[in-house]
Amino acid sequence: MQAPERQPASPTFAQWDLSLAINVLSRFEDHWQRVQLEHKIESARRALERFPVDATQITRLHNGVMEIDRILDSIQGACNVIELTLGDSVRTDNEIRDWHSRQCKTYSQVIEGYMSAIERRLEHVPTIIREWYDSISALAPAPEPQEYYTTIADYYTTNQNKAFNALSQRAFIDPDLKALAHRLYENRLSKEEADFTSVHQEESQAYFRQLASCTSINRPSLFHIRDLEESRYASFTYSLTEALHVLRHSFSQCHPNCAFEIDRIVAQGRLRLVDGTDQPDLCLDTPFGSYVQLQFNSSLPSVVSLAHELGHAVHQHLHRNSYRASHPLNAVDSETWALDFETVLIDRLTIDHPDFSPVLNAYRESRRIEINHRHRMLHRFELALHNPSIQSPEDVNTLWLNVNRLFYGDSIKLEADFKHAWQEVHHLFTAPFYLMVYGIAKERADTNRPTQSINQRYPTKEH
């Protein structure tokens, strides 16, 4: 990939500033820089042949291996940031990308050798390296069906029969639910943690019963209820400047480095606002900082989404600068932090605007039902797709209605075309068994409140 032209910093938040990413790639347009990295990988490989016995030497070797990882990760991050900004057109020149993927392949062989060397000497290696080994071991290679699942992703948002054909393949591809086992393993979860229990069902049904009672209609439609929900928060609006100000303030009360990082994200042009439904809110983690993309319309839900994505960004920043920097973050931990930062924001807004506390509390409750309860329901649906009794599109529609009925209860009328709504849940097609991550993370965020012990987890002085 050839580095594109530099762009000036963008105070309008229309686009990410690509300077940092371009700098990373420009460095590796230089032949000598590439040779140096290749040399580092080769040295690490050779060092493994005579694995040191002394803890200091082991630590030195470990730091060397981690440095290579950071460099390779930076190149990948730079490519991702540029491609997400400029689109696939920049893929035409693949020179750096090809070289990078060759180095990654060689490096993964080094890591494999390094892991087995550590395994043989586990009791001699320093604690930090043992912790790293444990966290990497939890990232078992994706099971074989994962590859087949990727073909299913192509059928997202097509017609009912195609969508059914795609989802019905799941039972054939993965009868033993290996994708589920993998997701549980890499996030260190038990199957039961994702259950949509009768307690969840009672709580969500009570929530909708209460909403329905606010209308003058007997059994209002789901469409009507969603409208009502939205109208309850409509009186609250915040400009982006106001939102950034309150986030900076509330996050820095958790940890002093948060304000510093939010300022850097803004100053370095790593926050961009997008419109159009095809661009999701996201936070892209790279070794040179996290990049946030967001649909923002000043509504309360979009202010909370900003808290969520900036929550990911500040958490990733703290993690990168902690002694656990090289330990991978798993999805459930990562989402737990982001969801807890949402609560930090809502708590702050409740103090700053006591008049709005009924609005804010209503939103708090709707978010809990949506992220925890609804995602557990979706997970139950996803799991049941693997049941051999699912043989036709009608079976899927019926399953969908039955599971949703447990979530919404009888006080809400589900519209006739709602039976096809499973086609719109893109995670079912693109990320097998990812939906449960949100339900578990929300419950953990509300129970454990990790931001309340953030200073113990990430002491200010550690580097």
Q: Which residue has the CB atom at the shortest distance from Zn ion? A: 338
Cβ closer to Zn ion: 166 or 304?
Answer: 304
Cβ closer to Zn ion: 179 or 338?
Answer: 338
For helices 393-408 and 198-213, the axis angle rounded to 10 degrees is 70
Q: Which stretch binds Zn ion (CB under 5 A): 11-19, 132-140, 323-331, 335-343?
A: 335-343
Cβ closer to Zn ion: 78 or 338?
Answer: 338
Please give the residues from 210 up to 269 whose contact with Zn ion meets the rule CB under 5 A. Answer: none
Cβ closer to Zn ion: 332 or 385?
Answer: 332
Number of residues near Zn ion (by CB under 5 A)? 1
Cβ closer to Zn ion: 282 or 325?
Answer: 282
Cβ closer to Zn ion: 110 or 437?
Answer: 437
Q: Which stretch binds Zn ion (CB under 5 A): 50-58, 106-114, 190-198, 336-344?
A: 336-344
Cβ closer to Zn ion: 343 or 404?
Answer: 343
Binding pattern to Zn ion, positions 266-305, x when CB under 5 A? Answer: ----------------------------------------
Q: If DSSP states are collapsed to H, E and C, what string results for the chain? A: CCCCCCCCCCCCCCCCCCHHHHHHHHHCCCHHHHHHHHHHHHHHHHHHHCCCCCHHHHHHHHHHHHHHHHHHHHHHHHHHHHHHHHCHHHHHCCHHHHHHHHHHHHHHHHHHHHHHHHHHCCCCCCHHHHHHHHHHHCCCCCCCHHHHHHHHHCCCCCCHHHHHHHHHHHHHHCCCCHHHHHHHHHCCCCHHHHCCCHHHHHHHHHHHHHHHHCCCCCCCEHHHHHHHHHHHHCCCECCHHHHHHHHHHHHHHHCCHHHHHHHHHHHCCCEEECCCCCCCCEEECCCCCCEEEECCCCEHHHHHHHHHHHHHHHHHHHHHCCCCCCCCCCHHHHHHHHHHHHHHHHHHHHHHCHHHHHHHHHHHHHHHHHHHHHHHHHHHHHHHCCCCCCCCHHHHHHHHHHHHHHHHCCCCECCHHHHHHHHHCHHHHHCCCCHHHHHHHHHHHHHHCHHHHHHHHCCCCCC
Q: Which stretch binds Zn ion (CB under 5 A): 33-41, 297-305, 332-340, 367-375?
A: 332-340
Could you tell me the smallest distance in angstroms from the CB atom of residue 423 to Zn ion? Answer: 23
Query: Is there a contact between 24 and 288 (Cβ–Cβ < 8 Å)?
Result: yes
Could you tell me the smallest distance in angstroms from the CB atom of residue 308 to Zn ion? Answer: 6
Cβ closer to Zn ion: 314 or 338?
Answer: 338
Could you tell me the smallest distance in angstroms from the CB atom of residue 428 to Zn ion? Answer: 18
Q: Which stretch binds Zn ion (CB under 5 A): 36-44, 98-106, 331-339, 417-425?
A: 331-339
Rounded Cα gap, residues 30 and 313, in angstroms:
31
Q: Which stretch binds Zn ion (CB under 5 A): 55-63, 320-328, 333-341, 452-460?
A: 333-341
Count CB-CB contacts under 10 A for residue 43: 14
Rg (CA), the chain: 24
Cβ closer to Zn ion: 71 or 243?
Answer: 243
Cβ closer to Zn ion: 114 or 291?
Answer: 291
Pick from 307, 338, 360, 428 the residue near Zn ion by CB under 5 A. 338
Could you tell me the smallest distance in angstroms from the CB atom of residue 338 to Zn ion? Answer: 4
Could you tell me the smallest distance in angstroms from the CB atom of residue 222 to Zn ion? Answer: 25
Give exposure, 53-72, as e/b (b: 16+ Cβ within 10 Å): eeeeebeebbeebeebbebb
Q: Which stretch binds Zn ion (CB under 5 A): 66-74, 334-342, 391-399, 440-448?
A: 334-342
Provide the β-strand partners of residue 237. 299
441 makes contact with Zn ion (CB under 5 A):
no
Could you tell me the smallest distance in angstroms from the CB atom of residue 406 to Zn ion? Answer: 26
Which residues contact residue 353 at a Cβ distance below 8 angstroms, ignoring those fewer than 6 apart?
Answer: 236, 360
Could you tell me the smallest distance in angstroms from the CB atom of residue 95 to Zn ion? Answer: 34
Could you tell me the smallest distance in angstroms from the CB atom of residue 79 to Zn ion? Answer: 22
Q: Which stretch binds Zn ion (CB under 5 A): 155-163, 193-201, 330-338, 371-379?
A: 330-338
Could you tell me the smallest distance in angstroms from the CB atom of residue 82 to Zn ion? Answer: 22
Cβ closer to Zn ion: 210 or 448?
Answer: 448
* Binding residues vs Zn ion (CB under 5 A): 338
